[in-house]
Amino acid sequence: MSSNHKLSPADAAGDVAVVIATICIAWGATRLLIYPALSIPDNAPAILRPISEFFAAWALLHWRGLGWRSVGLRTPVPWWIVIAGAAVLYLANTGLGTYVAPVLAQWISPVQQASFMGYIRGNPSGFALWLTIGIVVGGFMEECLFRGFLLNRVAEMLGGSGPAIAVGVVSQAVLFGLLHLYGGVFACVFASLAALASGCVYLLVKRNLWPLILAHAAWNSVALSSLYAS
């Protein structure tokens, strides 16, 4: 990211505060008002939350005369970096989801929560809906927000040094995991680990978001397709 795009610690802290406030408002509106009124179960994803966060971050970028390009949504050269980065991240998530997250989740809580997504088995309309959400909201919006926006803003808030960047990587991963706690302990643990891996790959590919977006969209697509066909 160019030095011209770096914010002062105070401005970066203000941006983080706005996004956190948006998270709280969207979560409260969803969990306390909208979902109870529609009889939607507690283990359903709160789709309003990531969408509202994304547009809040977009408004902040626009207000500062920036755009998503400033945090990594730009065309990479060469494109093989995108493919390689996405492949590495997908394989890392496969290993984390198969060998690490289940052990940690079992250690934290032996009783795992049933997934809300079970209803899409053999349900074409449900599958199409959540596949679209998984690609657009999960793959695109969440990567832009967490790895692109929040990681950088937390690092800038702390001065932009190496340790500050490390805190940015870890903090966005912890928050991302906690926001998936609705799906149970495994969902929380795996989301945290996947976000940590995504943050590391983001730095390795010189803060370009496209490898992360492709890997996240592919992961959600494969997972939903497997569930639908099961």
What single string gives the DSSP state of each residue in 10-53? Answer: HHHHHHHHHHHHHHHHHHHIIIIIIHHHHT--TTS--THHHHHH
With a cut of 70, say whether residue 4 has pLDDT above it. Answer: no
Q: What is the pLDDT of residue 2?
A: 40
Full 3-state SS string of 74-103: CCCCCCHHHHHHHHHHHHHHHHHHHHHHHH
- Provide the token pair at 201: 């790959």
Question: Which are the contacts of 3, defined by CB distance < 8 A and separation ≥ 6?
Answer: none
State the amino acid at position 227 in one-letter form: L
CB atoms closer than 10 angstroms to residue 122: 10
* pLDDT tens digits along 25-75: 999 999 999 999 999 998 999 999 999 999 999 999 999 999 999 999 998
How much is the pLDDT for 19? 98
| Tens-digit pLDDT profile for residues 69-117 | 999 999 877 899 999 999 999 999 999 999 999 999 999 988 877 888 8
- Give the mean pLDDT of the chain: 94
Nearest to 68 by CA among 222, 198, 213, 217: 213
pLDDT at 115: 84
Specify the pLDDT at position 229: 95
Q: How far apart are CA 115 and CA 180, in angstroms?
A: 12
**Where are the domains positioned within the chain?**
3-229
pLDDT band at residue 1 using 50, 70 and 90 as cut-offs: very low
Give residue-wise pLDDT tens across range 167-181: 999 999 999 999 999
Dig out the tokens for 185 from the structure: 């302990």
Report the pLDDT value the prediction gives residue 114, as an integer from 0 to 100: 80
The model's pTM = 0.94
Over 50: is that where the pLDDT of 120 sits?
Answer: yes
Confidence of residue 190 (pLDDT cuts 50, 70, 90): very high
3, pLDDT greater than 50: no
List Cα–Cα distances, 83 to 67, 210, 216, 223, 227, in angstroms.
24, 9, 13, 20, 25
What is the arithmetic mean of pLDDT over 130-134?
97
Q: Residue 47 and residue 26: Cα distance in Å, rounded?
A: 9
> Is 139 a residue whose pLDDT tops 50?
yes
